[in-house]
Structure 1
Amino acid sequence: MAGAQLLEIAALLFAVLAGFLAGGVWIAVSLLAVGWLGMLFVGGIPAGSVLATTVWGNSASWELAALPLFIWMGEILFRTRLSEEMFRGLAPWLGWVPGRLMHVNVIASGLFGSVSGSSAATCATVAKIALPELKRRGYDEKLSLGSLAGAGTLGILIPPSITMVVYAVAANVSIIQVFLAGFIPGLLVMTLYSGYIAIWSIANSAKMPPAEPRMSFGEKLKESTNLIPLALLILLVFGVLLTGWASATECAAWGVLGALAIAWWGGSLNGSAFWQSVMGATRTTCMIMLILAGAAFMKQSMGYTGIPVALANWVDNLELSPYALIAALTVMYIVLGTALDGISMIVLTTAVVLPMVQKAGFDLVWFGIFVVLIVEMAEVSPPVGFNLFVLQTMSGKDSNTVALAALPFFFLLVAAVAIITIFPQLVMWLPKYVFPG
């Protein structure tokens, strides 16, 4: 099919998907239906066989094994006093910062993201702990949801990251260099998020809960002892990863073991709590895995139609300047992100996009971080932003409420892309410092 026809089909499929979601059809069913419709446009391919092999092939993934384990870890910790202890330990030190405990969403997501490598796992685990506690303390629920949706994306920006590994392999660049390149942009995004929370809190002081009672330095240190269990858990997961005892996926199992130990030590590990944690993790995992299955089939369908390649070729034919090319690629990937997961976008477009990026003079390591930031945007952009689905399920709010709450953090990611484009040394300094050659 001609490129113009493919772009028309892409617009039609997007409209159908938006219609399904607006009509209240389950997200996974909507993705599967649109994928099936895309296969009909291709013709001559057994859609049923493709559906079966795609769903099984993408579900039986070693990397995805980390997802239910990290979710289970969050369920176990949710049933301990860890959430209360984490807030008690951090509250005295954040009392002077505008936004106070709302910054815990960003800090906890950054810490957890550095060991999970998954945006969905980071969002689900931190939300399971933070949402009830922030609501109990009277913080604005809309800002809580938005900050969790945005901060959850740190799971794929702060190394180690599965998305980074996929890009490095596809682009034939050093995985370690891409990992190193992600640290400073990760801190940049965390700073932007916390800055927005602080500004919002100053502008909406009436919506903030009363300040916590003031404490002496000694009292703050005493309260900080509540952070010891969390610190030990982070050290456990980091330790087994950095020493090479376990892969990123196996770290999830160590995290569950550590969470069970914390629950046992705190006296909250009993038969009822254990079973509730298992069932809670099962429900959340089934929801996420079903959506992933639908996204995988839709990705396969898009690959057969040739729509991603046609879109990339259309951008290439515009013969844009370097900065205009980055702006166009940003728009292209944001559009693709409304229908595809991040790894699918990378796999389907790198063959066409990378040559034009190199021709424009951009370093492929830098472009990897650019792509990861764009993937982060896709995680919080409607109609199929994955973090929005997770928070919609966990909070009970409708999709429009969660999407509107996440919108400011989407634009902060746009700002981060603009900053690293204007100042590429923010991305490249650390890789070049460690590997000067």
Structure 2
Amino acid sequence: MNIGVETEKIEFKKTTGELKEGITSLASMLNKNGYGVLYFGVKDNGDVVGQQMGDRTLREISQAIASFLKPQVIPTIEHELLDDKNVIKIEVRGSEKPYSAYGRYYMRSADEDRELSPTALKELMDRQTSSDIITIIPAPIQTLTFNKLKIAYVTAGLTVDQTTFEDNTGLKNSDGKYNMMAFLLADENDISIKVVTFAGKDKTDLIKRNEYGGTCLVTAIDKVLDYMESINETMVTMGNHRRTEEKLFDMASFKEAWQNACIHTKWDKGNPPAVYIFSDRIEIISTGGLPVDLNKEEFYKGISKPVNAKLQKIFGQLGYVEQTGHGIPLIISNYGKQAFDIMENFVNVTIPFNYEKKNSDGTGTDNNVSINEAEQRVIDFISQNSSITIKELVAVSGYSDGYIRKILASLKEKKVIERQGGNKTGKWVVIC
């Protein structure tokens, strides 16, 4: 039986006596393609000759790969029966180039493993540093659709050509397969985007976990922003015939931090960005740390070195990000450099609350009340027209009759508004 020929992605070895050479081929193929398959029990011409198997054969291969192929990868090692003969198939994937075998670096050329010169190695490292990794790695699923992304383009006033859309947006790699960026932007995926709320100032008591993933990253980002906007209450302080308002947190700063986390995270690491809400702050965490050619001071100044250049370009076209680099300076102007905890593999942004949230039992400072977004809208409508009716509030707000009545009851209970006069001839008064 013959299973084909050796290529830049496939290598044959007659026996595990050539294990060292086989691991060298794996490193070589990873450096060239980020992927490689190695067979033991197959001659160079593709003829299946079989491989003698022992109780520890597969384990010994796994241990050798772990010891001598660096950076470490997790191979898929399988025993197959071809033409009634034992064959071992090893499959590897990785994006942490350059890979070495036994301390040396190789590059695949046709079916050969060529050792890299110092100059070629440096070029590989430089290219890897500047590579848009998520446009190279193939998506784990190749049956993808992009209707939500196309709608986002149309909504942004851009023309969508159905025949060239995928090529123009860079959704396929050089092999013509959907890449990891395409997976992120597909209508359906298994990427988890979580907003987790805790009761106190640490992660001891989890209250709620909201999941916004599984869909196009553009949609997921918007859903998180909508949710955070909904919980961004306004604290109204009343006293001495004065009324002051203060939001729980600066939404513009959160928006910048959240969009940056999603666009600049190293998605190939497998850890999506997340939002954690505590009683006194919000934390936005992303994977990857700073790019190797960007230091902290440059980062603080707003100098941008995109980790995912094509993904950033797409979000730029959709109007989500600008090239001015004002996002980081904005956060620093509001919360200082201490808002950023820059680690080797993570960036954590902390946005403290502007005031202490009212206790769940309703206790708190007597002259302080929290107003949510819907309540604030109703207050604004009443301020503009003190004689406005419930029917008119329903029409201008888009809320249901029952929800408007609930909001009015809440505002009256909080002593933010009061009703003076009868239902027909009375008016609303915003208490100052």
Shorter-chain TM-score range: under 0.3
TM value normalised by structure 2 = 0.24
Greater percentage in strand: 2
Greater percentage in helix: 1
Q: Which has the higher contact order (CA 8 A, sep 6+)?
A: 1
